[in-house]
Amino acid sequence: MPNETIEVHADYKNIRIPCERLRALLKSSDVPEETIDLCELALQELLTNLVDHAYAGNANGHITVNLSRNPSQIVMETRDTGIPPQMDLSQTSMPAPEELVEGGYGMAIIQTLMDEARYFTSQGTNTWRLVKNLK
Amino acid sequence: MSLEINSIEQIIKIVTITLNGRLDAFEAPALRKTCDAYLAGENNHFVFDLTDVTMLDSAGLAVLVSVLKRVRLKNGDVRLVWPREEAASRILKLTKFDQVFSSIEKSEIIPKGF
């Protein structure tokens, strides 16, 4: 089953690499285009969050991304050693569009698109796990 | 009775920005810089032609929202030409910004006959 691990510097240019690899991995395993798009957007949003918040713009940080697909799921896991997330995922919501808020959409987008989005921290490493179920 | 003629000359400057490719966290700063320059020059009406945008994330969307916020304060507005790719239009629907931004057709950017 397709499985790939990529390590990148935590900057906006390099986080494109795992997104491109995700697209290639899923395309080669006959995942529908729409599902590929959803997963790529969720991964892009997560990685951008890690650049902005886990590493607070420190491009010396590293993010390890593991991408895998099995018959029933697409799994995207990231590991970083930055600032641990401190959010209550159950309280995340999409800002109302009429408020014209410029930020704060990333996590709400991830939770809307993915069937599972959770994180845990252990021994200085933060792991995020995003799962998309396949029909 | 002689003909009464009334005329109004309206000059509305519209900045049209055509984007091609991926509008994400990496490219968003360049777009923001471009828009900031136009906004500093008292431009209040923008058209973003997103026809050929292949992917749009929340960082790219933030630039569009920022411009909308700023021009509305000066009685201006923003119009979007909708992306052809679903991968780019999806976020507009997810965030319900498809109900906030007005859209126009590409052919409407420049009136026919000019």
- Prediction ipTM score: 0.92
Closest listed residue to residue B67, CA positions, set B78, B79, B58: B78
Do A102 and B69 count as a contact with CB atoms less than 8 A apart? Answer: yes
Residue spans per domain, chain A: 3-133
Among all residues of chain B, which has the CA nearest to that of A106? Answer: B58
pLDDT by 10s per residue, chain B, length 114: 799 999 988 778 899 999 999 999 999 999 999 999 999 988 999 999 999 999 999 999 999 999 999 999 999 999 999 999 999 999 999 999 999 999 998 888 765 555
| Tally of CA atoms within 13 A in the half-sphere of A100 that contains its CB | 14
For residue B106, with 0-12 CB atoms within 10 Å meaning exposed, 13-18 middle and 19 or more buried, which class applies?
middle
Do B100 and A44 count as a contact with CB atoms less than 8 A apart? Answer: no
| Range A3-133 has CATH code 3.30.565.10 | yes
Among all residues of chain B, which has the CA nearest to that of A13? Answer: B26
Residue spans per domain, chain B: 14-106
Contacts of B41 (CB under 8 A, 6+ apart): none
State the smallest CA–CA distance between residue A8 and chain B in angstroms. 15
The answer to whether the predicted template modeling score (pTM) of the entire model surpasses 0.90 is yes
Interface contact B87, partner A, CB < 8 A: yes
Optimal mutation site among B22, B26, B27, interface A, most CBs of chain A within 10 A: B26
Interface contact A113, partner B, CB < 8 A: yes
Domain spanning B14-106, CATH architecture: 2-Layer Sandwich (3.30)
Is A3 within 8 Å of A22 (Cβ atoms)? no
